[in-house]
Amino acid sequence: MIGMKAAAGVAVTYALVELFLTARGVLVLIGDAIFTKVGGYVLGNVITSFIAGLGTFLWMLAWGIPYPALLGLLIFILDLIPVIGSTVGGAIVTLVALTVSIPVAVATLIFYIAYRLAEDYLLVPRIIGHTVKVPLWAAWSPSSSAAWSWASSAR
């Protein structure tokens, strides 16, 4: 009788160890998938921020706005901040463009509005969708549904 209880205890122990190792393996796979997706998002964000900084640098060179390299780097860093980063950076560059002339400042403001729209609706869904491996329709759907809900609530 004692031998049977001991054998049953060993069997239960082996079953629990096997269950733990299986669950651990699944958790490791889930953790790896999460790490890959987050890494892809960060890489995509760095790519779009680099494009913003380079675009700012080239825009400022073309229009003769002072400190193009410094402000291009600032835009690169600020664009890493979701939602408000590029807006704050665009406001700073527009204020610096006022030192050249008002028409250049207005053109810079229009450039940043156009760039922000292009980044939000064209660049980010494609780049982040590619690096995170999300289908393009899924990357566009949150922004589309948000725009539709805003438009319908504005009436």
DSSP state letters, 7-28: HHHHHHHHHHHHHHHHHHHHHH
What burial letters (b/e) apply to 72-89, b meaning 16+ CB within 10 Å? bebbbebbbeeeebbeeb
In a domain, 6, yes or no: no
In a domain, 18, yes or no: no
Could you tell me which of 86, 87, 90 has the C-alpha nearest to residue 105? 90
Instruction: Please indicate, yes or no, whether the overall pTM of this predicted structure exceeds 0.85.
Output: no
Total domain count for the chain?
A: 1
**What pLDDT was estimated at residue 135?**
65
The token pair at 128 is 């982040």
In a domain, 95, yes or no: yes
In a domain, 55, yes or no: yes
**What pLDDT was estimated at residue 151?**
47
CA distance 9 to 40: 46
In a domain, 58, yes or no: yes
In a domain, 101, yes or no: yes
Written as tens digits, the pLDDT of the chain (155 aa) is: 555 555 666 666 777 667 666 666 666 777 777 888 888 888 889 999 999 999 999 999 999 999 999 999 999 999 999 889 989 999 999 999 999 999 999 999 999 999 999 998 898 888 887 777 766 566 555 555 554 454 455 54
Q: Please name the residues in contact with 66: beta carbons below 8 A apart, sequence gap of 6 or more.
A: 60, 96, 99, 100
In a domain, 19, yes or no: no
Radius of gyration of the chain (CA): 26
Contact 27, 110 (CB under 8 A): no
State which residues form the domain around 49.
Answer: 40-141
Q: Please name the residues in contact with 5: beta carbons below 8 A apart, sequence gap of 6 or more.
A: none
